Amino acid sequence: MRKLVRIGMATVGFFSCAAIYGCSAPEKPQEPESHREIARISSLSEVHAPLNRYFQTAQEDSIIVKARSRLAGQCMKRYGLPRQTELTDPVTDMIRNPVPLHLSERDAVRYGYRAPSTMVSTPSATDGNSKPRALTASERRTVDAVMNGWANTPRKQALRSYQGHPVSRTGCIGESDARLMAHTTRPRINGDQEVTSSTEIMNLVLNLKSRAAEKVEGDPRYRAMVSSWASCMRKSGHPYDTPSDARTAASETAPTASGTLSEQERKIARSDASCQQKVNYLGVTGHLVERYQEKIVEEYRDTMADVRKNIDQRVAKAKKINERAA
C-alpha cells in the first residue's frame, strides 16, 4: 500500500507541495549505528547526495532551456511580439550543493563568503546572432505581461488578451513548459493528483531534500560536531552557535569603500573555515546527508522513479525541438 506524507512549503517556484503519493512501505525502526569515526573529506565532490539524481543536471538544464526559449518565441510570435526576455536555468548551485554551509580555507582567505560558483553553469539559450531592438517602456510592459501571464504580472499591467488572442495564466513561459510536459510521466502529489509543471516536480524534490536536512540537523553526531565548531569559534573570538549564524553576521558587516569584503568578514570566514576543518564539518555533514537522503529515496522510490522518467522524457523532447531548429 502506498503511504501519504504531508510535506511543508517549498523554497523555489510557485507551488507548495503538501503531500506526495507513491512511496514504499512504512520505514522500519532505526537501528543504532556504530560510533566508528566518520572519514575526513576535503571537497564537495566527495559527497554523494542521492537526491541530486532527481534534479536536472546542468547539461539537461541547457537542453531544456534552449528548447523552451524557442517554444516561448513561437508563442510570442502569435501575438506579434518579439521574445526579448531570456529564459534562465531555475536550478541554482545552492539547490545542487549537498552541504551549502561548507567553506574551504582557501576560499575563506581569498573571498570570505563570496566565492564564485565552482559548479557548471548553464549556457545561455539566446541565439548569439539575435540582436533585438530596444523596446519602449510601454512595449516592455506588454512583452513582459504576455511572457509571464496574468498570474505573474502586477495587476495593473496584467493582460487577459492581446491582439485578439487570450493571455494564459502563466503566459508564454508557462506554455513552453506545458508543451514539454505534455504526454510525459507525471509524479503524483496532494494524495493522487498529477503534477502539472516542471516547477512542481522541482519543488517536490526540494521538499524531500529539506526533510532529509532536518534529519541531519537533528542527528546527535551533527549536533555534537556543531557544538565543537561553536567552541572553536568562541576561542577565535567569534561567538556564533552555527555556521549559518557566522554567515549572517559576516553579511551584516559593512564592505570597504571599493565594495569588496570587509576585513571583519574575512576574519569570520577564516575562523569558520578553520573550525570546520578541525571538527570535520564536511565529512560529518556529507556522511549524514548521504544516509538520510538514501532513506528518503527508498521511502519514495516510486515517486522518484517517476520524477527521473519525467526529466528524461522532457530532455528527449527538447533535443528533438533543438535539432529541428538547428
Q: How does residue 18 score in pLDDT terms, banded at 50, 70 and 90? A: very low
- CA 200, 204, 209, 212: dihedral to nearest 10 degrees? 160
What is the Cα–Cα distance from 54 to 180, expressed in whole angstroms?
17
**Per-residue pLDDT reduced to its tens digit, 85-132:** 667 765 566 788 999 999 999 999 999 998 876 544 444 444 445 556
CB 18 within 8 A of CB 6: yes
Q: How far apart are CA 165 and CA 80, in angstroms?
A: 10
CB 248 within 8 Å of CB 265: no
> For residue 254, with 0-12 CB atoms within 10 Å meaning exposed, 13-18 middle and 19 or more buried, which class applies?
exposed
160-182 mean pLDDT: 96
- Cα separation of the two ends of the chain: 47
pLDDT of residue 117: 63
Residue 135 has pLDDT above 60, yes or no: yes
Note the pLDDT of residue 128: 46
pLDDT of residue 257 exceeding 80 = no
pLDDT tens digit string along 259-296?
A: 788 899 999 999 999 999 999 999 999 999 999 999 99
Sign of the CA dihedral running 212, 214, 217, 219? negative
- Name the helix (H) or strand (E) containing 6: strand 5-6
- φ and ψ of 152, to 5 deg: -115, 20
Q: Determine contact, residues 98/44, Cβ cutoff 8 Å.
A: yes
What pLDDT does 21 receive?
Answer: 43
Per residue in 175-222, pLDDT (tens digit) is: 999 999 999 999 998 778 899 999 999 999 999 999 999 999 999 999
| Strands across the sheet containing 188-189 | 5-6, 19-21, 188-189, 193-194
Tell me the whole-structure pTM to 2 decimals. 0.81
pLDDT class of 307 with cuts at 50, 70, 90: very high
Q: How many Å apart are CA 117 and CA 48, to the nearest integer?
A: 19
